[in-house]
Amino acid sequence: DKRKAIFDQGVRVLAAEKRLRIPGSGLGLWEARTVVEAHGGKIHVRCEPTSAHFRQGRAYVVTFQIKIPLSVDT
């Protein structure tokens, strides 16, 4: 699945598919995943449907679980 692969180190899926010369090392999303997972979170991409005339785009979704105590000891 290409959506999971984009978070791998050095992957540049869009540039490779379209043979575009987009500058970059392919490390940005890999670094984002590394930081998010180091803090116990998860990251994934959600792609919106496309039409023939307009690409809707994609969203990168980051989730963290936060534990909040129900009571505070004073």
Q: What is the pLDDT of residue 1?
A: 63
Domain 2-63 sits in CATH at: 3.30.565.10
Question: What are the domain boundaries of the chain?
Answer: 2-63
Q: What is the pLDDT of residue 23?
A: 74
Q: What is the pLDDT of residue 40?
A: 92
- Alpha-carbon distance of 66 to 19, in angstroms, equals 41
Q: What is the pLDDT of residue 52?
A: 57
- Contact 27/6 with Cβ under 8 angstroms? no
Q: What is the pLDDT of residue 13?
A: 66
Q: Split the chain (74 residues) into runs of 10 and give each run's mean pLDDT.
A: 80 63 79 93 82 65 88 74
